[in-house]
Each structure stands twice: as C-alpha cells, then as structure tokens.
Amino acid sequence: MASAFKLLFAVSLFTLLLRFCSGSIVGVCYGRNADDLPTPDKVVELIKLHNIKYVRIYDSNIQVLKAFANTGVELMVAVPNSDLLAFSQFQSNADSWLKNSILPYYPAAKITYITVGLEVTESPDNASALVVPAMHNVLAALKKAGLHKRIKVSSTHSLGVLSRSFPPSAGAFNSSHASFLKPMLEFLAENQSPFMIDLYPYYAYRDSPKKVSLDYALFESSSEVIDPNTGLLYTNMFDAQIDALYFALMALNFKTIKVMVTETGWPSKGSPKEKGATPDNAQTYNTNLIRHVLNDTGTPAKPGEELDVYIFSLFNENRKPGLESERNWGLFYPDKTSIYNLDFTGKGVLDMTNSTDGSKNGTTWCIASSKASEADLQNAIDWACGPGNVDCSAIQPSQPCFEPDNLVSHASFAFNSYYQQNGASDVACSFGGKGVKVDKDPSYDNCIYLTAGGINKTASSNMTATVNTSSSSHTDVCSWICVFLLTTLIAVILNLRNMCDVSF
C-alpha cells in the first residue's frame, strides 16, 4: 500500500512539474504566396534576429526544411489540400511522403506538428470528407517511424466551422459539418492533439463596425461585454472567439481537447473601404496579443489556460487574391525591413526597421569615436553592458553585430543602445567624450541599431514591457519549483527502487 501511494505521489508530482513548467508560446506563419520573397536561408536569419522560436509553414518544402536545420526553431509543416485525396486513399502515399519529405531532414529540422488540410470547410471543393482518413494515414506513417509521440497530427479550421459564436457560451459547431467533425474530434482526443483554429477579429470589425468596436477587436476596450448565460466578462473579441470554441467542444463532450490558434493577426494596409487596416492598428493588435498570450492569463471561461498562437504572417504576399488587405498581413516587407515595430519575446517593442537615413525625421544615433583608446572603449563597453543595463548579446561571437570584431564597432552598438534607452540625450552619448552623435543609421547587414522611437512606444510598449516583468518572474519561480519537484520526484523513484530491491 505504501509503495503504491508513493508511486501515485511520484506520478502526480511529475504531472504537476510538466504543467507548471510549460507556458504559452507565440509563433509566426511563414507564407510564401509571393514572387519577391528572400531565399529561405535569408528568412531564417531574419527569424533568428527577431528571436522567433516557432514557425508554421504551409507545405513541406525541402529548401525551407534545410534552411531551418539545427536552428532550434520548432516547425509546423503541412499536407496541403491538393494532396488530401492521395493521402486519404492510400497508406503508401503517406508513407512515401514521410520517408522522402520529412525523415531526411528530421530531427535537424525540429518538426513538432503536421497539419493535414487547410480550412477545408472553406475550400471550394469542400474536401472535408478526405481529412480524417488522411490524418489516420499520416499518423500510421509516424507510428511506423516511431515519431507519433514527438510529432502531433491535426488540421486547421476557420471560425466558420461554428454556426454560433456569440455569446461565447452558445458556441456551437455547424451541423452541416457533423459527419466530418465528430470523427476528427475523436481523433484529436484519442491522440491528445490540439484543435487548430484560425481567428481574425479584424474581419468581425471590418464587416460589422457598428456592432464590433475597434477597441474591442484590438484588446483596447475599457468596457466589458457580458455573456448573459454565464455572467463572464469579455474585454476583447479574441477571448470571446476562443471561448465560443471551447463551449462548442464541451457541448459535444470533448472537454480534454486543447485549442491552438494557428493564424491570427491584423493587416497594415487595405482598400479604401478597409479603414481599420493600418500599421498602427496592426502593431496594437499584435503587441497586445503577445502580451495577453505570454502572460498566461487564459480566457474568462478558461482562466490561466495556456494558449499557443501563431501570428499571420511573416511577409506581405503579393500573389494573394482578393482585397488589398489580403496582400498586406506581413510583419516584414520582402526586403526584410519591418512594416511596424514588434517584439516576440515580450520584452518591449523595439524599432527594428532598416532605415538608412534618419536625418529626415530627426532620428540620431550614438557611436564610438574612432580616436578613443582601446582601453577607454573596453571600459565603456564593460560599463554599458553591466551597470548600464544594455543587452549586449548581439555583439557576442556568431551574433549579428559581432563582425567586424573590433572595439570601435562593439562599443558603437553598446553606446547607441544605452543612448536610445535613456532618452537619446546628449548626456547619454557622452561616455567621457568617447561617444559621437550621428544622423545616419549605422545599421548594417543584420546588425540593427535601435532608435529612441522603438524603445518607448506609447501605451502599447508600456503594456508589453509590463509583460516582460511578469513573464520573467514567472520563469524564475517556475525554474525554482521545477527543480524542487524534479528533485523530489527522483528521490521518490530511488526510494521505490530500493524497496523493490529489498523485496526481491
């Protein structure tokens, strides 16, 4: 009895450890429906520069998988709708795809999800009947390779899969999709895979601006929408849409399936009728989204529930059909310059634009004087990167600002970071006479020098900065508790082993 109790206690500790030490993540969708995008290796450099750790792609392109090899970036790859018929009809097709398109690049390319089909209920040919058989065949192929516990299989959906989404407690799946949804949900529950949803509060606002306020869509509302059935209070549409999906799942008794947002975002440009599509609104939405997700606040119906989210999209895609907004969801232009300022780590909004001349808008930078002695420059770098609280990781070996490897270059990066973080004042660029103000951007290649506008970016930046504090403290507490729980778990297991040795 005692050993059974200890075993149960050990398992409970392990479960608690896994739960507490995980957290929500924010990734980005890397769509390639364009003819002017940089090569995959250049895209990977950009992703690493911006500290993006999770990426979704819409196929299993070999060049893309090769580019992501050994980067540590977690990938979500896809079986496109055009392949569903082949994958659903014959197991051999799924086996061959895994053998030829995935296994040669895994685990160097860190693939964690395979999505089978893209919003099939929205596709013109409605290939929904093919999805679940294709999912089963992909899973069977993974099992043969021993990867079914490492790579999860699911499918992505639009919010159109629901017939009702308001109030959230009345969320319900569209009955016309019942024959497809029931077996798919059973598959997800059995294999502990997430229900993947593409959510766009932008469309709700664009199509019904009199019913949906812009602030409510942008996470900026000061008022609350009350669900009359539950009394739950909602301050943003994103949470309301997520909870509508959770209530729809619970109505069908699928209470264990987690929700993952595989697309969300806001366009930075649109047609004359799309007045909400602006860079400021896009920055506000995505900044507030990151704050909301990384804080692990959950939703009113699922407080504290982790939620993984992928922002659409990495680049503007000039070949996408439809209204002007469809081609302007990107975080970056094809030349890799930022459309607006965004930071995926939750540490605050940084100005990562690749401007070459700041004199037109009054922007200045601070660099090191070429006449300063090496000893003075080294002392200044040590101070800036220490007591000055400058993040000097970019000038470390193999990082984007390490080359050229000399003190003037390294000091210039450190000087400018301190200068921008402290109001871009003359005093902040003094460094004992070793700093020099310039009006030409010293950025080069992938080494981006900060500007003052990105360090203190109105309310959105302040909110994101707040996230950083709470996120960091959560990480510290998590680390301490995880160590404690893991140590305790090991002790329990060793004790059980000793008891077994004595028994035999």
Over residues 345-401, the pLDDT tens digits come to: 655 444 444 433 444 457 899 999 888 888 889 988 988 898 788 899 999 999 999
Q: Is residue 449 part of a domain?
A: no
Residue in 45, 220, 263, 317 annotated catalytic:
263
pLDDT band at 480 (very low <50, low <70, confident <90, very high): low
Does residue 455 have a pLDDT over 80?
Answer: no
Query: Are residues 209 and 85 located together in one domain of the fold?
Result: yes
305 catalytically annotated: no
Q: Provide the 8-state DSSP code for 30.
A: -
| Burial status of residue 28 (CB atoms within 10 A of its CB: 0-12, 13-18, 19 or more) | buried
- CA proximity to 157, closest of 126, 179, 186: 126
pLDDT band at 22 (very low <50, low <70, confident <90, very high): low
Q: Is residue 191 part of a domain?
A: yes
Q: Is residue 170 part of a domain?
A: yes
Contact by Cβ (8 Å): 364, 439: yes
The total of structural domains in the chain comes to 2
Contact by Cβ (8 Å): 463, 288: yes
Distance CA 326, CA 446 (A): 28
Share of the chain above pLDDT 90, in %: 63
Residue with tokens 């077996």: 183
pLDDT at 434: 86
Which domain, by its residues, includes 432? 365-438
| Burial status of residue 158 (CB atoms within 10 A of its CB: 0-12, 13-18, 19 or more) | middle
The CATH number that applies at residue 127 is: 3.20.20.80
pLDDT band at 424 (very low <50, low <70, confident <90, very high): confident
Distance CA 206, CA 276 (A): 7
Segment 300-317 mean pLDDT: 95
N-to-C CA span, the chain: 17
pLDDT at 481: 56
| Residue 377, both tokens | 């420059």
pLDDT at 472: 39
Q: How many residues in total does the chain contain?
A: 504
Query: How do residues 102-114 score in pLDDT, each as one tens digit?
Result: 999 999 999 999 9
Query: How do residues 239-292 score in pLDDT, each as one tens digit?
Result: 999 999 999 999 999 999 999 999 999 999 999 999 999 999 999 999 999 989
**Pick from 414, 438, 462: which residue ends a domain?**
438
Query: How do residues 311-343 score in pLDDT, each as one tens digit?
Result: 999 999 999 999 999 999 999 999 999 998 887
pLDDT at 487: 62
Cα-Cα-Cα-Cα torsion 125, 128, 129, 135, nearest 10 degrees, comes to 130
* Mean pLDDT of the chain, nearest integer: 84
Segment 166-184 mean pLDDT: 92
Segment 423-452 mean pLDDT: 85
Global pTM reads: 0.70
Positions of E strands within 4-91? 26-29, 54-56, 74-79
Query: Are residues 79 and 200 located together in one domain of the fold?
Result: yes
Query: Are residues 184 and 289 located together in one domain of the fold?
Result: yes
45 catalytically annotated: no
Q: Provide the 8-state DSSP code for 200.
A: -
Does residue 193 have a pLDDT over 80?
Answer: yes
Query: Are residues 288 and 388 located together in one domain of the fold?
Result: no
407-421 vs 374-385: helix axis angle to the nearest 10?
A: 40
Does residue 125 have a pLDDT over 90?
Answer: no
Query: Are residues 313 and 240 located together in one domain of the fold?
Result: yes
Q: Provide the 8-state DSSP code for 258.
A: P
Residue in 45, 119, 220, 317 annotated catalytic:
119
Segment 437-452 mean pLDDT: 88
Query: Are residues 199 and 297 located together in one domain of the fold?
Result: yes
Distance CA 341, CA 457 (A): 9
Sequence-ordered list of residues with C-beta below 8 angstroms from that of 260, at least 6 positions apart, any chain: 154, 194, 195, 196, 197, 307, 308, 309
Query: Are residues 272 and 421 located together in one domain of the fold?
Result: no
Specify the pairing of strand 233-234 against strand 54-56: unpaired
Query: Are residues 259 and 385 located together in one domain of the fold?
Result: no
> Is the preceding peptide bond at 404 cis, omega within 30 degrees of 0?
yes
Sequence-ordered list of residues with C-beta below 8 angstroms from that of 293, at least 6 positions apart, any chain: 24, 25, 26, 307, 309
Contact by Cβ (8 Å): 149, 110: no
Query: Are residues 259 and 404 located together in one domain of the fold?
Result: no
Distances (CA, A) of 239 to 218, 264, 307, 343, 365: 11, 12, 11, 21, 41
Query: How do residues 64-111 score in pLDDT, each as one tens digit?
Result: 999 999 999 999 999 999 999 999 999 999 999 999 999 999 999 999
**Pick from 438, 456, 480: which residue ends a domain?**
438
